């Protein structure tokens, strides 16, 4: 079975959970066997893992015919793509795109981020998708998140193959209800054109059905999973202060993640015990506000901010924690509690997180229930049995949440839309 | 002759309110009164009261041929007295027929039998006292919390003078043996063991209204037919269930009351009688010895104690609770003792069960908590406060033995003081007769015990020392010793 996937992020260059999920799913599907996956991303860096999917960069795909020789192509894009693919793609340019700014290879530049001109990038991405869809044979098209829906729709119109869109988040999650009309339009368009919609949790499924008016039989939930931790990460040993417990918040410090509840919890717990430290790791538009709030609550001596953590630092932070907290107001899935569980850190998550639907060995509370969260933190740091039980049972549980299972479910959905 | 022994269990715990870690050390009231009242009233209205009426009717209609036994935990009785006093009256009325037997168990519906023999024995006594007080009969047959049983427990129960024990007819214990006989424990040959026929009991408790069951609908005729067709020689069928089976687990609409009421008639047709456990034990002889090393119970598929003490959360809470047992027994604070009872209820541990979350459906059905972790957190917070209170009673630094010795001293002192008082009085009387001494000595002697003893030996030196607390005991001792000489 040949699948053409459109994504926006791919590890190791990721900004959020989307990249991790796309990567894990693709790899899991590959493990299920008999899958030939082409994965399109705006801007590959050349250090992406290969072998389970054929990665094509949108910024390496010509949309304007340029007469360039093999060595030039190889020099410029050789480390991310086979030059022959370039020529194959070049044979399928379908319209005159000279009005767009292109480079010497006739390719459009992409930032691959979430820049201010994102709508323009999305549009360009779907132009490129037209070339790719004409070149790469496929049985089914799969678009990851709203940025790639227009590309998916375009590819569907060209090839006539069924389109599956994967909703990793909706704008209702990101904006706490203040939806951007442009984003909503693109999302709604994608859902209308899709032959089937995959959501990462029942929570998101409900949003898709209720807020976007999609028929429930077209929407299926495939919960995310988690990649096994690499040995390198498992081997990290962090120094621990036995007299002081560490409670961690890790993620973007934005409205969606509910950081203010974490500060309130910290204030409550610190009123009762002193042998605990709270750490807010990450950055975001609410960071300064949180620093002020912590100072206002008079807990700044026990409340630390680390700023943005990348790569290994994330796991170092997790490994030096005793409790992980995710008080997200609305989290379509939320993969980080699973990672915390993998390294043996008990987690407290909000019931408004998609991952709460599949996890048992975590404490689940409402995001606004500061009292309940404070109780849970106190319990984990005070009663050793609670800590040990959550740690051990958590590891056991999370090891059974595998991408292969999610991949198999997606393949079943492919079969259904292709009427195989 | 074949006989049926019905026994119903009534138990409701004092559920804990949401007790936050902030409350530790500040708030010493732990119970969710609203919920407890609501639940016990609901169950009483739907089940206990109508069931009592039905049983009374059955006993009267059958001319006192229908017999039944009850096991009501002390904590449930307390709640019923508080919230549904009419139930106690209705139970008394039932007891008056003479066809009802009350069984013994632990007062707090606790797991003390697994941890603390002294506590266990105390609780059984407390429970039997309460039953005697309310219903005028002293239980003779014992059944442990959740039918938990082992050889060790059998020995303890035998030492308390019970003639019979009721427990689960767990398959892994019985093997090929049938539960429809009496057995005897390996450790207590004089005691008789009655085993629950779980197949027939569960037919009523769980399957009665199950449409998917191939024997649906279960009629009294059919049920008695099954019992009637058991192999020759199987003399007793023990149907043990929780009382809320009638009306709550199987609601009145399922026809459970009609089914029950029809039982005596069909039983009479087949020549089957009804008996109380005591009657069974006095009439029948045990056929074999049964040995149970690891405790069994009536819960879940495993029929062991893992529903209460299966994971480390439960074990930790359990150990913490009983770590203060000795201390609590030394205390005399009534409220503390009361909380001690309520906190021991096995239900609190049941809520912490994480045994395969899928099967947890049954567990969560009864649990006021969302998850086992929440249950643990809440319970531990309450327990922490409780332990703080226990420690307030007696300083932590004194070892239990030492404390015990001191308390004994204090208690003995009271007796000694009495003796000395008498001695003093007689001495004075004698003195009064022999030679008139100064009457002024009488006044200080009345104030304290220690100085009282003093006048006999060295009045001026001993009296002031007796003011300090620890010194008081010592000096009192000395004084008494001297007095004795």
> What is the DSSP pairing of strand B192-196 with strand B182-185?
antiparallel
Chain B positions in Cβ-Cβ contact with residue A362 (cut-off 8 Å): 373
Q: Which residues contact B256 (CB under 8 A, 6 or more apart)?
A: B204, B208, B209, B245, B246, B247, B250
What is the pLDDT of chain B when averaged over all its residues?
85
Question: Nearest residue on chain B to A388, judged by CA atoms?
Answer: B312
Of the pLDDT bands very low, low, confident and very high (cuts 50, 70, 90), residue B362 is low
| C-alpha dihedral (B53, B56, B57, B62), degrees to nearest 10 | 160
State both tokens at A237. Answer: 């040993």
Find tokens 């904006």 and name the residue: A175
- pLDDT band of A80, cuts 50, 70, 90: confident
Residues 6+ apart with CB under 8 A from B258: none
Whole-complex ipTM: 0.78
Q: Which helix (H) or strand (E) holds A48?
A: none
Categorize the per-residue pLDDT at B315 as very low, low, confident or very high, splitting at 50, 70 and 90.
very high
Which residue's entry shows tokens 């989290």? A331
pLDDT per position as a tens digit, A353-408: 999 999 999 999 999 999 999 999 999 999 999 999 999 999 999 999 999 999 99
* Closest residue, chain A, to B356 (C-alpha): A360
pLDDT score of B207 more than 60:
yes
From the list A167, A221, A225, the residue with the least C-alpha distance to A194 is A167
Answer whether residue B108 shows pLDDT above 90. Answer: yes
| Positive or negative: CA dihedral B201, B203, B209, B210 | positive
- How big, in percent rounded to 5, are the helix, strand and coil portions of chain A? 45, 15, 40
Based on its alpha-carbon atoms, the radius of gyration of chain B, rounded to whole angstroms, reads 28
Instruction: Render pLDDT for A207-247 as a digit per residue (tens, 0 to 9).
Output: 999 999 999 999 999 999 998 988 988 888 888 888 899 99
Q: Does the pLDDT of residue A205 top 70, yes or no?
A: yes
Helix (H) or strand (E) segment spanning residue A215: none
Can you tell me the distance from the alpha carbon of A372 to that of B374, in angstroms, rounded to the nearest whole number? 9
Contact between chains at A376 and B312 (C-beta distance less than 8 A):
no
Taking the alpha carbons at both ends of chain A, their separation in whole angstroms is: 11
CB distance A109 to A103 below 8 Å: yes
Query: What pLDDT score does B75 carry?
Result: 95
The reported pLDDT for the residue numbered B365 is 62
Close Cβ partners of B45 (under 8 Å, ≥ 6 residues apart): none
Q: Cβ(A15)–Cβ(A137) under 8 Å?
A: no
pLDDT of amino acid B273: 93
Put simply, the chain A residues between 225 and 284 with a CB less than 8 A from any chain B CB are 268, 271-272
Nearest residue to B165 via CA among B176, B177, B151: B151
> How high is the pLDDT of residue B461?
45
Helix (H) or strand (E) holding A288: helix A287-296
> Which chain B residues contact residue A272 at CB under 8 A?
21-22, 24
Nearest CA in chain A to B382: A379
Q: What is the pLDDT of residue B463?
A: 43
pLDDT on residue B218: 92
- How many CB atoms lie under 10 A from the CB of residue A202? 14
Q: Mind telling me the catalytic residues of B?
A: 146
Closest CA to B223 of B190, B177, B272: B272
**Coil, strand or helix: which one is A22?**
helix
Q: Cβ B21–A272 below 8 Å, yes or no?
A: yes
A111 — contact with chain B (CB < 8 Å)? Answer: no
The answer to whether the CB of B15 falls within 8 A of the CB of B32 is yes
Phi-psi region of A262 (alpha: psi -120 to 50; beta: other; left: phi over 0): alpha
pLDDT tops 60 at residue B159: yes
Banded model confidence at residue A320, pLDDT cuts 50, 70, 90: very high
Q: What is the largest CA-CA distance in chain A?
A: 73
Please tell me the number of Cα atoms within 13 Å of B43 on its side-chain side: 20
Strand (E) positions, A120-187? 140-144, 163-167
What DSSP line would sit under B322-344, residue for residue? HHTHHHHHH---HHHHHHHHHHH
Intra-chain end-to-end CA distance of chain B, in Å:
71
In this prediction, residue A175 carries a pLDDT of 79
Which helix (DSSP H) or strand (DSSP E) does residue A391 occupy? helix A384-398
Chain A residues in contact with B316 by the CB 8 A cut-off are: 383-386
DSSP string, A323-337: EEEE--SSBS---HH
Establish, for the pair of chains A and B, how many residue pairs have beta carbons separated by less than 8 Å.
Answer: 64
B76 vs B414, more confident: B76
Which among B20, B315, B380 has CB closest to A371?
Answer: B20
What does the block give as tokens for B247?
Answer: 């009306």
Q: Which domains does chain A have, with CATH numbers?
A: 2-225+403-418 (3.40.50.2000), 231-398 (3.40.50.2000)
Q: How far is B180 from B210, CA to CA, in rounded Å?
A: 26
Residue numbers in A near B317 (CB within 8 A): 385
DSSP B441-454: GHHHHHH-HHHHHG
Q: Greater confidence, B111 or B367?
A: B111
Residue of A nearest to B19 (CA): A375
Q: What is the DSSP string of B158-200?
A: HHTT-SEEEEE--HHHHTT--SSSEEEETT-TTSEEEEE-HHH
**What does the alpha-carbon distance between residue A307 and residue B236 come to, in Å, rounded to a whole number?**
74
A135-139, A342-346, B73-77, B368-372: the lowest-pLDDT one: B368-372
Q: Tell me if A389 and B354 make a contact (CB, 8 A cut-off).
A: yes
Which of chain A's residues have a Cβ under 8 Å away from the Cβ of B370?
364
Q: What is the mean pLDDT of residues B361-385?
A: 82
Say what the pLDDT of residue B364 is.
Answer: 57
pLDDT of residue B356: 60
Q: Which two tokens stand for residue B280?
A: 């069974």
pLDDT at B453: 45
The chain-wide mean pLDDT, for chain A, equals 92
Q: Which residues, in sequence order, are CB contacts of B251 under 8 Å at separation 6+?
A: B46, B209
Residue range B182-209: average pLDDT?
92
Strands (E), A24-157: 36-41, 54-57, 140-144
Residues in chain B: 485
Cβ-based neighbour number of residue A162 at 10 Å = 19
Here the tokens at position B316 are 């930790």
Predicted local distance difference test score (pLDDT) of residue B439: 53
Task: Note the pLDDT of residue B469.
Answer: 47
Query: What are the beta bridge partners of residue B296?
Result: B149
For residues A383, A386, A391, A393, the Cα torsion angle rounded to the nearest 10 degrees is 160
User: CA of A346, closest CA in chain B: separation in Å?
Assistant: 11
Q: Measured between CA atoms, how close is A399 to chain B, in angstroms?
A: 16
When pLDDT is averaged across residues B420-447 and rounded to a whole number, the result is: 68
Residue B477 has pLDDT above 70, yes or no: no
Return the percentage of chain B with pLDDT > 90, whole number. Answer: 61
Q: Are A330 and A356 in contact (CB under 8 A)?
A: no
Lowest mean per-residue pLDDT among A280-284, B388-392, B436-440:
B436-440
Q: What DSSP character marks residue A109?
A: P
Please check the confidence at residue A63 and state whether its pLDDT lies above 70. Answer: yes
Query: How does pLDDT run across B118-154, given as a tens digit for each residue?
Result: 999 999 999 999 999 999 999 999 999 999 999 999 9
Q: Please identify which residue in the block is written with the tokens 């999973």.
A: A225
In this predicted model, what pLDDT tens digit does every residue of A250-285 receive, in sequence order? Answer: 988 988 899 999 999 999 999 989 899 999 998 888
pLDDT at B48 over 80: yes
Who's near A300: CB < 8 A, 6+ residues apart? A291, A294
């Amino acid at each position: 079975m040949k699948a053409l996937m459109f994504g926006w992020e791919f590890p190791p260059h990721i900004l959020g959970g989307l990249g991790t999920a796309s990567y894990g799913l693709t790899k899991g599907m590959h493990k299920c066997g008999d899958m030939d996956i082409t994965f399109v991303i705006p801007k590959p860096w050349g250090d992406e893992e290969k072998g389970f999917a054929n990665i094509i960069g949108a910024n390496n795909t010509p949309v304007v015919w340029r007469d360039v020789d093999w060595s030039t192509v190889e020099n410029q894009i050789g480390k991310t793509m086979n030059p022959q693919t370039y020529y194959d793609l070049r044979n399928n340019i379908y319209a005159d795109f000279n009005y767009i700014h292109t480079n010497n290879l006739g390719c459009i530049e992409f930032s691959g981020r979430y820049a201010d001109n994102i709508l323009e990038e999305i549009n360009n991405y779907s132009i490129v998708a037209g070339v790719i869809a004409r070149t790469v044979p496929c049985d089914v098209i799969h678009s990851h998140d709203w940025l790639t829906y227009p590309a998916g729709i375009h590819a569907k119109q060209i090839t006539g193959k069924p389109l599956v869109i994967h909703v990793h988040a909706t704008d209702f999650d990101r904006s706490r209800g203040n939806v951007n009309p442009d984003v909503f339009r693109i999302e709604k368009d994608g859902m209308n054109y899709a032959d089937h919609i995959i959501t990462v949790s029942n929570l998101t499924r409900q949003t898709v059905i209720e807020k976007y008016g999609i028929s429930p039989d077209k929407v299926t939930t495939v919960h995310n999973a988690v990649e096994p931790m690499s040995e390198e990460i498992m081997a990290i040993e962090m120094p621990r202060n036995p007299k002081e417990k560490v409670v961690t918040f890790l993620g973007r410090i934005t409205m969606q993640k509910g950081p203010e509840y974490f500060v309130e919890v910290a204030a409550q717990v610190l009123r009762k015990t002193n042998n605990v430290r709270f750490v807010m790791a990450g950055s975001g538009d609410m960071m300064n506000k949180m620093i002020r709030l912590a100072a206002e609550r008079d807990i700044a001596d026990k409340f630390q901010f680390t700023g943005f953590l990348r790569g290994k630092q994330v796991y170092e932070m997790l490994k030096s924690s005793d409790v992980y907290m995710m008080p997200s107001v609305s989290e379509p899935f939320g993969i980080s509690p699973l990672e915390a569980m993998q390294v043996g850190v008990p987690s407290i998550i909000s019931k408004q997180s998609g991952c709460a639907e599949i996890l048992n060995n975590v404490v689940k509370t409402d995001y606004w229930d500061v009292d309940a969260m404070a109780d849970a933190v106190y319990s984990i740091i005070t009663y050793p049995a609670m800590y040990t039980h959550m740690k051990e049972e958590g590891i056991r549980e999370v090891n059974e949440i595998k991408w292969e299972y999610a991949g198999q479910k997606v393949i079943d959905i492919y079969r259904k839309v292709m009427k195989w | 002759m074949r006989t049926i022994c019905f026994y119903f269990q009534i138990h409701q715990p004092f559920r804990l309110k949401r007790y936050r870690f902030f409350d530790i050390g500040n708030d010493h009231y732990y119970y969710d009164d609203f919920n407890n009242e609501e639940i016990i009233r609901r169950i009483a209205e739907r089940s206990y009261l109508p069931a009592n009426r039905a049983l009374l009717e059955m006993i009267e209609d059958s001319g006192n041929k229908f017999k039944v036994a009850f096991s009501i935990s002390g904590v449930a009785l307390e709640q019923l007295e508080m919230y549904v006093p009419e139930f106690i009256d209705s139970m008394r009325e039932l007891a008056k027929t003479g066809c009802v037997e009350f069984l013994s168990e632990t007062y707090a519906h606790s797991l003390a039998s697994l941890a603390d023999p002294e506590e266990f024995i105390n609780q059984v006594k407390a429970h039997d006292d309460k039953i005697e007080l309310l219903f005028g009969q002293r239980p003779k047959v014992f059944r442990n919390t959740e039918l938990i049983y082992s050889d060790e427990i059998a020995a303890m129960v035998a030492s308390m003078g019970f003639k019979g024990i009721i427990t689960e007819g767990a398959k892994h214990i019985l093997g090929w043996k049938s539960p429809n006989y009496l057995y005897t424990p390996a450790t207590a040959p004089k005691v008789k063991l009655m085993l629950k026929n779980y197949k027939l009991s569960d037919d009523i408790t769980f399957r009665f209204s199950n449409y998917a069951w191939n024997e649906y609908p279960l009629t009294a005729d059919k049920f008695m037919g099954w019992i009637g067709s058991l192999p020759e020689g199987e003399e007793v069928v023990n149907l043990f269930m929780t009382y809320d089976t009638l009306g709550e687990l199987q609601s009145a609409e399922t026809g459970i009351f009609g089914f029950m009421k029809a039982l005596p008639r069909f039983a009479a047709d087949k020549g089957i009688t009804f008996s109380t456990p005591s009657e069974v034990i006095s009439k029948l002889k045990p056929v074999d010895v049964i040995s149970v090393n690891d405790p069994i119970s009536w819960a879940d598929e495993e029929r062991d104690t893992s529903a209460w003490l299966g994971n480390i959360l439960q074990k930790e809470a359990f150990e913490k609770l009983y770590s203060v047992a000795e201390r609590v027994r030394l205390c005399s604070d009534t409220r503390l003792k009361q909380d001690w009872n309520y906190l021991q209820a096995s239900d609190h541990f049941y809520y912490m069960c994480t045994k395969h979350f899928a099967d947890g459906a049954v567990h969560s059905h009864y649990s006021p908590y969302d998850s086992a972790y929440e249950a643990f957190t809440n319970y531990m917070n309450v327990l922490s406060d409780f332990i703080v209170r226990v420690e307030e009673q007696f300083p932590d630094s004194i070892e239990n033995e030492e404390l015990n010795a001191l308390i004994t001293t204090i208690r003995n002192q009271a007796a000694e003081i009495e003796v000395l008082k008498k001695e003093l009085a007689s001495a004075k009387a004698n003195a009064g007769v022999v030679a008139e001494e100064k009457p002024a000595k009488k006044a200080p002697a009345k104030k304290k015990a220690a100085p009282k003893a003093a006048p006999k030996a060295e009045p001026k030196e001993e009296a002031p020392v007796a003011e300090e607390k620890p010194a008081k005991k010592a000096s009192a001792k000395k004084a008494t010793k001297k007095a004795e000489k």
